[in-house]
Structure 1
Amino acid sequence: MRNGDVAAFQRLYQRHQGPIYRYALMRCGQSALAADVVQDVFMGLLSKSYRYDAGLGNLQNFLFGVARNLLLKQDQAERRHQPLPGYSEEDGEEVLMSETTEPADVIFHQQMTEHVRQAVAVLRPHYRDVIILYELQELSYAEIAVICDIDIGTVRSRLSRARAAILQYSERLGWRPDAVAKTGTQR
């Protein structure tokens, strides 16, 4: 790709475009902005505006980091941050949901997915980053620490606080774990 091989760039784009787009979409909630971020990431890589050094880490982490920085700049420009009302940053609980094949469970899963998406959207950007990268992109604490330029302990605490905020947001909207247990669907 660095030598102008178009096919190499296409393979690289096809391999990394999807995860970067999903991250950007969950991070900003706007498909057009997420597409713009993906375009900016790859155009910057192609034009050498963003200089990737293989000796400093893996390409995927570099691309996530560039996308994150672009989204942080967008956040600053729009000042669209909205913290959870009355959110306390103490005590976190992990919420997991299993996949099912029953039609009623599929509908419930879709509703729950939308609910979680809304809850993630109101998190502060630094909490949103770690929860998306860990839960949706399935990156390790170490990879997230590199992407976000923070310590692994900070990744763990932000992940815990993000989970707690999502749980608190869920409870305020009536999506309590005990209500889910009554439906027979596990989380």
Structure 2
Amino acid sequence: MIKLSLSVPWSSVSSASPAAGSGAIADRPEQLSNFDLVLCCQTQLRPDQSAFSELMRRYQPHVERLLYRLAPDWTDRADLSQEVWIRVYRNVCRLKEPIKFKGWLGRITTNLFYDELRKRKRVELPLSLDAPRLLSDGQVDWEIAAEDASPVEHMMAQEFYDRLRQAISELPEAFRTTIILRELQGLSYEEIAEITQVSLGTVKSRIARARHRLQAELSKYLDG
């Protein structure tokens, strides 16, 4: 796997770099907007090195968070992160709407994860439940108050999240994948349909059915 980092020797990514001064950006990269940085990476045969490095600096935390949510127990997430940026470097010129760079980056990260998941033939989908709520649209509020919580309340909260984790892991794979992409990664229905290669209606149906099952499994906590 090619290594790429914020201090990357660019010869490891491409066999040649643009000539010095050729299409160089006028402003310092850190002074440019995200949109302008993407444009700078699209104006030459290969992305402008300084602009691309600045994009990496700004969006690397986003990539790391997505990978952690998808694969918290994988020890090689740093390698996957490197591969994400290699794919971005090679394909950024194909991005038709630079304003949507963050969403596009998220799809690259997610697709890479599922490529690796298929290779490893994992049975269970890794899961992280850092967010206090599973459902972002307000249909179900699973937040348990933690302010000045007693030891008993802390224990009940831990029991709830343990059961939530188990309930999600027991969902059929198609439901589990869809609910994670929607509620933990925050992708739109359209993005999930594109990634999972099913219709928009199927995505909505899977999410609704997954939520119904989770509500049923956790009813004693939600009713309380």
Q: TM-score range by the shorter chain?
A: 0.5 to 0.7
Q: TM-score, normalised by structure 1?
A: 0.65
* RMSD value, Cα: 3.3
Q: Which protein shows a greater Rg?
A: 2
- Counterpart of 2:85 (choices 32, 42, 47) is 42
Q: How many residues align?
A: 161
Q: In the superposition, relative to structure 1, how do residues 74 and 9 fare at CA in structure 2: closer, same or farther (>3 Å)?
A: closer
Q: How far off is 1:146 after superposition?
A: 3.6
Q: Which residue of 1 aligns with 2:60?
A: 13
Secondary structure of the corresponding residue to residue 58 of structure 1: helix
Q: Which residue of 2 aligns with 1:129?
A: 177
Q: TM-score, normalised by structure 2?
A: 0.56
List aligned pairs for 1:36-185, cutoff 5 A: 36-46=79-89, 48=90, 52-55=94-97, 58-81=100-123, 96-101=141-146, 102-103=149-150, 104-166=152-214, 170=217, 176-178=218-220, 180=221, 184=224
Q: Which residue of 1 aligns with 2:6?
A: none
Between the aligned partners of 1:123 and 1:38, the Cα distance in structure 2 is: 28
Q: In the superposition, relative to structure 1, how do residues 164 and 40 fare at CA in structure 2: closer, same or farther (>3 Å)?
A: farther
AA aligned to 2:80 is V
- Determine which structure has the larger helix proportion and give its number: 1
Identity of aligned residues (%): 24
Check the 8 A contact 1:64/1:147 in 2, yes or no: no
Q: In the superposition, relative to structure 1, how do residues 30 and 50 fare at CA in structure 2: closer, same or farther (>3 Å)?
A: farther
Q: In the superposition, relative to structure 1, how do residues 76 and 17 fare at CA in structure 2: closer, same or farther (>3 Å)?
A: closer
Secondary structure of the corresponding residue to residue 31 of structure 1: coil
Q: Larger RCO: Structure 1 or Structure 2 (Cα < 8 Å, ≥ 6 residues apart)?
A: 1
